[in-house]
Amino acid sequence: MALFGKMENLNTPNKENKDMSEVEKVKVLIVGSGPAGYTAAIYAARANLSPVMYEGMQPGGQLTTTTEVENFPGYSDGVTGPEMMEDVKKQAVRFGTDVRFGMATAVDLSQRPFKVTIDGTKEMEAEALIIATGATAKYLGLEDETKYAGSGVSACATCDGFFYRGKDVAVVGGGDTALEEALYLAGLCKKVYLIVRRDVFRASKVMQARAEKAENIEILWKHQTKGLFGDGVVEGATLVKNQGTPEEEEVKIAIDGFFLGIGHKPNSDIFADYIDTNEVGYIKTIPGTAKTNVEGVFACGDVQDDQYRQAVTAAGSGCMAAIDAERFLAEQE
């Protein structure tokens, strides 16, 4: 997994010499990075809002775990996820964004200026807050998921499915997310194994019918993933059928890609006392805007998008958040 370290030579003059007990006041604070956060920073900086960004635990977001990105406009030959995020970060810094390494650990959004604690110690006050903390894909917890990350293991079929055209892949999960992934991959791949832990789906009836109708989707009921194998890349999966019963048996399938379809967890917990979210935790925004229920707080990217979860849509929502923040601040003046 490629993560960026702190790049002080790219940043505007930092404030590391400040007394850590002193509250720092800023006009616009962006928490989180990735295509949404960095794009918000570009637009906010160009609007002379002097944004300060804290990149979070994974600077660059989920794209830093993606090897090739071929569906982002402007990169005709493709680009790696880390390289693309580096490019966007440089652009944000070029216009004056103060990019810092650190994560928000506590907030008080009960009144303006909003109070945000960074790494449990540093206190920030912001006239406008942009939340771009993203979402984290859920994994099974297998060591092989880390071993083959970017080499056959993926949590996004629409991001990486193109690389498995004409090949055999597997999707694990029994809900709508898994079936959506499987159906998307069925249009690209030779065969799709759908690994379902139980003997029933949790997905909607419509999705079930579509998956069962697809000729190249094979549903493996009562199967659980034990591990993956392959020389440097995924070449197959070891499954356990009827685990914990007298009929338990080990099954191996030959695959080139292993896709997680068990959902994502939006990184919104620290905002939950103030910001409206749906039942899963995705931040609710007013349709057509990046505005949350708290005036002056905006959300963009995967922390509020449970439908598309693409780099290009995240970037677009980051643009919206910055413009909404600019207009909000102008109204206050």
User: Exposed (0-12), middle (13-18) or buried (19+): which is 263, by Cβ within 10 Å?
Assistant: middle
pLDDT 10s digits, 221-277: 999 999 999 999 999 999 999 999 999 999 999 999 999 999 889 999 999 999 999
pLDDT in tens, 169-185: 999 999 888 998 999 99
Rounded Cα distance between 192 and 179, Å, is 11
Q: What residue ranges in 13-164 does DSSP mark as E strands? A: 24-31, 52-54, 98-100, 104-108, 114-118, 122-131, 135-137, 153-154
What is the percent of the chain where pLDDT is above 90?
78
97: which 2 tokens?
Answer: 């964004």
Q: What is the pLDDT of residue 67?
A: 66
The pTM score is: 0.77
Residue 8 confidence (pLDDT): 37
- Marked catalytic residue, from 160, 168, 256, 302: 160
Distance CA 273, CA 291 (A): 17
Q: What is the pLDDT of residues 196-205, one digit of tens each?
A: 999 999 888 9
- Report pLDDT for 147: 95
Please confirm, yes or no, whether 319 is among the known catalytic residues.
no
**pLDDT recorded at residue 69:** 84
Determine whether 189 is an active site residue.
Answer: no
pLDDT digits (tens, 9 = 90+) for 280-318: 999 999 999 999 999 999 999 999 998 888 899 999 999
Residue 57: pLDDT band (50, 70, 90) is confident
Of 98, 119, 144, 156, which is the active-site residue? 156
Residue 11's pLDDT is 43
**Which domains does the chain carry?**
24-136+264-332 (3.50.50.60), 139-260 (3.50.50.60)
**Catalytic residue from among 98, 144, 159, 256:** 159
> Is 23's pLDDT higher than 70?
yes
Looking at every residue in the chain, the average pLDDT score rounds to 91
Q: Is 156 one of the catalytic residues?
A: yes
Mean of pLDDT values over 119-146: 95
- Convert the pLDDT of each residue in 79-104 to its tens digit: 988 899 999 999 999 999 999 999 99
Q: Which residue has the higher pLDDT, 65 or 156?
A: 156
